[in-house]
C-alpha cells in the first residue's frame, strides 16, 4: 500500500482516474492536505489539516506504507516529514514547492518587470513567511534528507533541485501530471484553421496573474518590433495585487486590442480558447504553464519561450521545437508552424504515463 498526500487540485482528479484505469487505485491511499472543504478535487477523497488529529488518524503509521508520495512539498510540511519515518519517500514537484521557496534567491524577472515590482509584501505574505520560519524552517534539512526520489519529467528541474537544496541527496524519477485530455486525443477534435482574412493575429501572453510571466517585457518587445496583434492575458488566478497593476498598466496596446481573461474556464472551454489563438508567448524563466505550452506545441502553433527558461533544454533534447523571438513578426505574418506531435507523444504520451504509473504505484 502507498500513501499520497495531495493538495486540493483538479490535477488530482486525472491522477486518480489514471490509477483507476490501471486498476491500482485500491493500492494507493490518497489524503488531501487541506484546512477547508475541497473545492477542486472532485473525487470522493478524505481530507484534513496536516497537523490535525484527523489527519493523523487517516494516515496512521507512515512505516506501514511501501512508499509515501508528497504531491507539492510545501515548507509547512517540513516539521511533519522530519517527525516521521518512511520506507521510501517521494517528492512530486509542482513548481511552487521549489521555485517559491523562501530560502532560494533566484532572479526570475526580466528588466522591466523587475523595475515595476512592488517591494512591499501583503500582510498575508508576511504572516505566511513568519509561520514558515518559526514553525518549520528548523526542520528543513532533516526533512529534505529523508527524500529518496524527486519526481519530475525535466532533467533541468532536477538539477535545479540538487543545486539549490544541498542537503537533498535524492535521485530523479520520471513523472508528469497529465491534462484531463491526453495529447493524442487532441487529434479527434476539430481545429480552426488560421484565417487569411484575420490580418491581426491573436496572441496569448502568459498563463496566470503572476509576475514571473514577465508580461511587461513581452509587450515592450512587441512594441519595439511594431508587431500588430490582439493580446489576451489569462489572469483567472495569481497575485491579485499584480493583476490589478497589470490591468492598469496594459489597458491599451496601440497595435491591437487587449483583453484580460479573469474568469474561470472549464478545461474544454480553455482548450477552445487555446485553439482559437494564433500563438503563445511564455516569458517565464522558471518552468510554469506547461499544460498551455505543450497543447499549443502539439497543435503546431508558434510558441515563444524565454531563452533563459530553465527547462528549455529539456524540450530541445527531446526534439520539441519552439520559436525564435527575433523571427516573431515574420512567423506570425506567414503562419509558420512546427510539427511537434511525434516528439511530444514520445516524451509525454498517455501510454508512457501508464507505464510509469505501473512502476511507481502498483
Structural domain boundaries enclosing 95: 2-178+350-361
355 and 335 share one domain = no
Residue 192 has pLDDT above 70, yes or no: no
**H helices within the chain, ranges in order?**
11-21, 53-59, 78-82, 96-99, 111-116, 123-135, 140-145, 155-164, 215-224, 240-249, 267-276, 290-298, 312-317, 328-334, 341-348, 350-361
CATH code of the domain containing 92: 3.40.50
CATH code of the domain containing 235: 3.40.50.2000
Q: Which of 235, 218, 228, 254 is nearest to 112 (CA)?
A: 218
pLDDT digits (tens, 9 = 90+) for 5-45: 999 999 999 999 999 999 999 999 999 999 999 999 977 89
133 and 70 share one domain = yes
- Cα–Cα distance, 167 to 172 (Å, whole number): 15
318 and 338 share one domain = yes
- Cα–Cα distance, 53 to 49 (Å, whole number): 9
133 and 101 share one domain = yes
Contact present, 213 and 108 (Cβ < 8 Å):
no
**pLDDT at residue 197 in the model:** 46
pLDDT digits (tens, 9 = 90+) for 168-186: 999 999 999 999 999 999 9
228 and 258 share one domain = yes
210 and 71 share one domain = no
112 and 65 share one domain = yes
194 and 268 share one domain = yes
- CA end-to-end span of the chain: 8
Q: Which of 304, 258, 250, 308 is nearest to 278 (CA)?
A: 304
67 and 150 share one domain = yes
Number of domains in the chain: 2
83 and 201 share one domain = no
30 and 106 share one domain = yes
235 and 305 share one domain = yes
pLDDT digits (tens, 9 = 90+) for 59-95: 999 999 999 999 999 999 999 999 999 999 999 999 9
Amino acid at each position: 500500500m502507498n500513501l499520497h498526500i495531495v493538495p486540493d487540485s483538479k490535477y488530482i482528479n486525472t491522477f486518480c482516474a489514471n490509477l483507476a484505469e490501471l486498476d491500482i487505485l485500491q493500492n494507493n491511499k490518497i489524503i488531501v492536505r487541506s484546512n477547508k472543504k475541497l473545492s477542486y478535487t472532485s473525487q470522493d477523497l478524505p481530507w484534513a489539516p496536516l497537523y490535525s488529529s484527523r489527519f493523523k488518524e487517516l494516515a496512521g503509521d507512515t512505516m506501514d506504507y511501501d512508499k509515501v508520495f508528497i504531491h507539492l512539498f510545501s515548507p509547512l510540511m517540513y516539521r511533519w516529514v522530519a517527525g516521521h519515518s518512511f520506507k521510501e519517500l517521494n517528492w512530486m514537484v509542482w513548481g511552487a514547492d521549489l521555485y517559491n521557496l523562501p530560502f532560494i534567491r533566484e532572479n526570475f524577472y526580466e528588466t522591466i518587470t523587475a523595475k515595476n515590482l512592488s517591494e512591499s509584501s501583503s500582510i498575508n505574505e508576511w504572516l505566511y513567511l513568519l509561520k514558515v520560519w518559526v514553525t518549520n524552517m528548523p526542520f528543513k534539512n532533516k526533512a529534505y534528507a529523508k527524500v529518496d526520489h524527486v519526481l519530475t519529467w525535466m532533467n533541468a528541474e532536477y538539477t535545479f533541485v540538487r543545486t539549490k537544496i544541498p542537503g537533498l541527496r535524492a535521485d530523479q524519477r520520471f513523472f508528469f501530471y497529465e491534462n484531463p485530455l491526453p495529447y493524442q486525443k487532441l487529434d479527434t477534435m476539430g481545429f480552426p484553421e488560421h484565417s487569411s482574412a484575420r490580418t491581426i493575429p491573436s496572441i496569448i501572453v502568459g498563463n496566470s496573474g503572476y509576475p514571473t510571466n514577465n508580461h511587461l517585457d513581452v509587450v515592450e518587445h512587441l512594441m519595439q518590433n511594431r508587431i500588430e496583434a490582439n493580446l489576451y492575458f489569462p489572469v483567472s488566478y495569481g497575485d491579485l495585487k499584480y493583476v490589478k497593476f497589470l490591468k492598469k498598466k496594459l489597458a491599451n496596446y496601440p497595435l491591437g486590442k487587449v483583453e484580460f481573461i479573469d474568469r474561470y474556464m472549464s478545461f474544454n472551454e480553455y482548450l477552445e480558447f487555446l485553439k482559437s489563438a494564433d500563438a503563445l508567448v511564455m516569458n517565464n524563466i522558471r518552468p510554469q504553464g506547461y499544460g498551455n505550452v505543450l497543447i499549443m506545441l502539439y497543435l503546431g502553433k508558434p510558441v515563444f519561450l524565454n531563452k533563459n527558461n530553465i527547462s528549455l533544454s529539456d524540450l530541445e533534447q527531446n526534439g520539441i521545437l519552439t520559436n525564435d523571438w527575433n523571427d516573431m513578426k515574420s512567423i506570425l505574418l506567414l503562419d509558420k508552424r512546427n510539427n511537434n506531435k511525434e516528439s511530444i507523444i514520445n516524451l509525454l504520451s498517455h501510454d508512457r504515463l501508464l507505464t510509469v504509473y505501473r512502476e511507481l504505484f502498483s
